[in-house]
């Protein structure tokens, strides 16, 4: 069984091996869960914990549809017949197995051709939604895209801001190989926007509960800037994207032991390459059908090598 911890007022967290899953108590029994953890590692203990505490999940608000956040939504809906709220982008991706595979590529098959992380949202959060009336309570919605296209934060009625994966905690930063980000430019904008957020408490998915996140915000931005410099340092000549990635892995002495690990690394690398091109630090051109990349010189042309 998993441990639960109070945060503030009626806002609590369930502690899994990898993350905090926040929940808001509507009363002593009924709760709204924020995210649902992994299918593979969290399902059994999460289900047992909810039952042991006699909780009834009335609703789930999904910060984004990645496998470690959406893995048990459909499972819990099958038990509690609960409502599910998600940003329109994440809801559309998670609605079908083909859509989920195409966007995220990594999934846990349900053995019937489906995907465990797929779910049907009953409440759609639109891009301008700031308040969500849900299961008899009002939650604030923070639009924090970048980590995924429709990534959101959720503010409970206790003024506790759950930030999902927009930030990594200090232990994660220390061990980070590559930030898992779909749109790096948007992700950096979302991180910087958090400097103006004021809440009584902050929860970061992967085990941070804090009264102040300003130092963590700056550390996350520095981590990304450092990774970008490392990626640029591996750009020699005019490699293809794949050749560049392999050169970077070699410089970092990285050896991916599974397709899943490599796919996650590649996902973040591709976002970094797009950002470097958007910000004018590299350029690309097609040569015999292959897109090749090169640094830009100070004058805007191809850098000498």
| pLDDT tens track for 245-301 | 999 999 999 887 777 788 888 989 999 999 999 999 999 999 999 999 999 875 555
Give the end of a domain, one of 165, 198, 223: 223
Q: Residue length, the chain? A: 305
Rounded to the nearest 10 degrees, what angle do helices 214-233 and 241-252 cross at? Answer: 110
- Whether residue 304 lies inside any domain: the answer is no
Q: Are residues 70 and 217 in the same domain?
A: yes
Contact 164, 153 (CB under 8 A): yes
Per-residue pLDDT, 179: 81
Residue 126: count other Cβ atoms within 10 Å of its Cβ.
Answer: 10
Mean pLDDT of the region 175-192: 93
Distance, in Å, from the CA atom of 11 to the CA atom of 6, rounded to the nearest integer, reads 6
Per-residue pLDDT, 261: 80
Owning domain of residue 267: 234-295
Mean pLDDT of the region 189-213: 97
Task: Give the single-character DSSP code of 112.
Answer: S
Per-residue pLDDT, 108: 65
Q: Are residues 173 and 104 in the same domain?
A: yes
Per-residue pLDDT, 185: 97
H or E element in which residue 298 lies: none
Contact 45, 2 (CB under 8 A): yes
Domain containing residue 117: CATH number: 3.60.15.10
Q: Are residues 192 and 262 in the same domain?
A: no
Give the end of a domain, one of 223, 244, 279: 223
Whether 29 shows a pLDDT value over 90: the answer reads yes
Mean pLDDT is lowest, of 12-16, 32-36, 105-109, 131-135, for 105-109
pLDDT digits (tens, 9 = 90+) for 79-130: 999 999 999 999 999 999 999 988 886 556 666 667 899 999 999 999 999 9
Which of 72, 57, 54, 90 has its CA nearest to residue 165?
90
- Residues 6 or more apart whose CB falls under 8 angstroms from that of 123 comprise 59, 83, 84, 85, 86, 132, 134
Q: What is the pTM of this model?
A: 0.93
Per-residue pLDDT, 121: 98
Per-residue pLDDT, 305: 45
- Residues 6 or more apart whose CB falls under 8 angstroms from that of 270 comprise 241
| Share above pLDDT 90 across residues of the chain, in percent, rounded to a whole number | 83
Give the end of a domain, one of 182, 197, 223: 223
Q: Are residues 195 and 114 in the same domain?
A: yes
Q: Are residues 179 and 265 in the same domain?
A: no
Per-residue pLDDT, 138: 98
Q: Are residues 173 and 267 in the same domain?
A: no
Q: Are residues 145 and 65 in the same domain?
A: yes
Whether 13 shows a pLDDT value over 70: the answer reads yes
The SS3 assignment for 166 reads coil
């Amino acid at each position: 069984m998993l441990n639960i911890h109070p945060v503030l007022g009626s806002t609590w967290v369930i502690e899994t091996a990898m993350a905090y899953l926040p929940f808001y108590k509507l009363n002593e029994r009924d709760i709204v869960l924020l995210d649902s953890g992994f299918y593979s590692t969290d399902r059994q203990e999460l289900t047992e914990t909810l039952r042991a505490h006699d909780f009834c999940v009335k609703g789930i608000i999904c910060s984004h549809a990645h496998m470690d956040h959406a893995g048990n939504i459909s499972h819990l809906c099958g038990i509690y017949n609960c409502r599910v709220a998600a940003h329109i982008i994440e809801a559309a991706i998670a609605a079908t197995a083909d859509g989920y595979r195409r966007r995220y590529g990594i999934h846990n098959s349900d053995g019937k051709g489906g995907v465990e992380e797929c779910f049907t949202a009953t409440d759609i959060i639109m891009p301008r939604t700031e308040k969500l009336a849900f299961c008899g309570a009002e939650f604030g919605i923070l639009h924090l895209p970048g980590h995924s296209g429709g990534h959101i934060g959720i503010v409970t009625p206790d003024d506790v801001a759950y930030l999902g994966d927009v930030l990594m905690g200090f232990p994660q930063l220390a061990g980070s190989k590559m930030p898992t980000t779909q749109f790096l430019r948007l992700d950096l904008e979302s991180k910087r926007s958090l400097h103006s957020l004021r809440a009584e408490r902050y929860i970061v998915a992967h085990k941070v509960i804090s009264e102040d996140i300003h130092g963590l915000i700056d550390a996350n931005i520095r981590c990304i800037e450092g990774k970008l410099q490392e990626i640029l340092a591996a750009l020699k000549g005019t490699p293809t994207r794949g050749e560049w990635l392999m050169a970077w892995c070699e410089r970092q002495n990285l050896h991916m032991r599974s397709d899943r690990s490599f796919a996650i690394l590649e996902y973040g690398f591709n976002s970094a390459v797009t950002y470097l091109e958007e910000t004018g630090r590299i350029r690309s051109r097609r040569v015999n059908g292959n897109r090749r990349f090169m640094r830009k010189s100070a004058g805007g042309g191809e850098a000498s090598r």
